[in-house]
Amino acid sequence: MTLLALRAVSKQFGGLRALSDISFDVAAGEIVGIMGANGAGKTTLFSLIAGNERPSGGTIVFDGRALAGLPPHRICRLGIARTFQIVRPFGGLTVEDNVATAAMFGAAQAASPAAAAERALAVLALVGLAERAGDLAETLTLSGQKRLELARAVATGGRLLMLDEVMAGLTPAEVATMLEIVRRLHREYGLTILIIEHVMRALMQLAGRIVVLHHGEKIAEGPPAAIGADPRVHEVYFGAAA
């Protein structure tokens, strides 16, 4: 079953064409990777799906519903959750309250503050932040704040999770932990995942399918092995270096 469908989506910033004519589907239960160099339009794509930015053209359909024109909070309640590449914690609130807020207002719509707190603690345990629940979010390290981003997105209760470089800037050990967390979210929580990642090996391991963007255009789509062998992808990624 198709959960998310993009058709000819484009985005223009003034005279700059950030994305043009992007189409692809994501089936329920899939992990789809988004690959591309800096400025390829990956984050913009997430912003369009989550409603942080409006598309200049094309349609985005989630679970049979067109998302055009909906504000971000409505899209979140329909079941799409995203993380930000540059972390955006609620710095002055505790770690627990960060996550509980998502549980209260997201698709999960926790019935009471107690229910929200319970859900928050469960998610925090999953990402390994349970001991920090009472600390202010701004006191976390970068790795901690990345995990908090993830926890907050998960706690909204969305079915589609969009992860924007949650592994960037982490040590190899932390990357391994994060990989495991993402796998568990997929397996145990049954989440559909759209993931942007620079750490290529991680993406190859996780994703069942990869979409490659270059200068705002989709240049390839397919299983990791096929993407790895695609000459166009090689040209874009390694051409300059060779």
Partner 1 sequence: MRGALALAALALAAAALPAVAGDYHVGVGLGLLMYVALTQSWTVLSGMTGYVSLGHVVFYGLGAYVAVLLWGEAPLAAIVALAALAAFAFAALIGLPALRVRGPYFVILTFGLAELAKYVVIVVEGWLGKFSRVIFGAPDIETLYYIMFGLAAAATLMTFLVRRSRFGRGLLALRENEEAAETVGVPTVRFKLLAYALSALIPGAVGSVMVLRQTYFEPAQIFDPVVSFTIVTMAVVGGSEDMKGPLLGAAGFVLLSELLWANAPQLYMVLLGLLLIVFVLFAPQGLSGLLPARRRTP
Partner 2 sequence: MDALLSGQLLVAALVTGALYALTALGLNLVYGTMRLLNVAHGDLVMIGAYVAFWAFTLLALSPLLGLAAAAALAALFGLALYHGLFRRLLAGGKAAQRLEANSLLLFFGVSVIVQNLMALQFTATPRGYQYLDTVYRWGNAAITGNRVAAFAVAVILCGGVLAFLRFHVTGLAIKALIQRRDAAAVVGVNVERVQQLALCLGFASAAVAGALVSMTEQISPFMGFPFTIAAFVVIILGGLGNVTGGIAAGLLLGVLETYGVALTSSAYRSILVYGVFVLILLLRPQGLLGGRRIVR
CB 100 within 8 A of CB 155: yes
Contact status: 94 vs partner 1 (CB under 8 A): yes
Contact status: 72 vs partner 1 (CB under 8 A): yes
Residue with tokens 């990357």: 175
Q: Per-residue string for binding with partner 2, 82-101, x by CB under 8 A?
A: ---xx----xx---------
Distance, in Å, from the CA atom of 111 to the CA atom of 236, rounded to the nearest integer, reads: 49
Smallest distance from partner 2 to CB 52, Å: 6
Query: Which does residue 88 bind out of partner 2, partner 1, none, counting CB within 5 to 8 angstroms by kind?
Result: partner 1
Give residues with Cβ within 8 angstroms of 78, minimum separation 6: 62, 63, 65, 67, 70, 107
The partner residues of 220 in beta bridges, in order of sequence, read: 212
Tokens representing residue 96 in the block: 């627990």
Angle at 242 between CA 169 and CA 240, to 5 degrees: 65
Residues in contact with partner 1, counted by CB under 8 A, come to a total of 31
Among 52, 56, 59, 205, binds partner 2 (CB under 8 A): 52
Per CB under 8 A, which of residues 43..62 are in contact with partner 1?
Answer: 50, 52
* Site residues for partner 1 per CB under 8 A: 50, 52, 71-73, 76-77, 81-82, 84, 88-94, 97, 100-102, 104-107, 113, 136, 152-153, 155-156
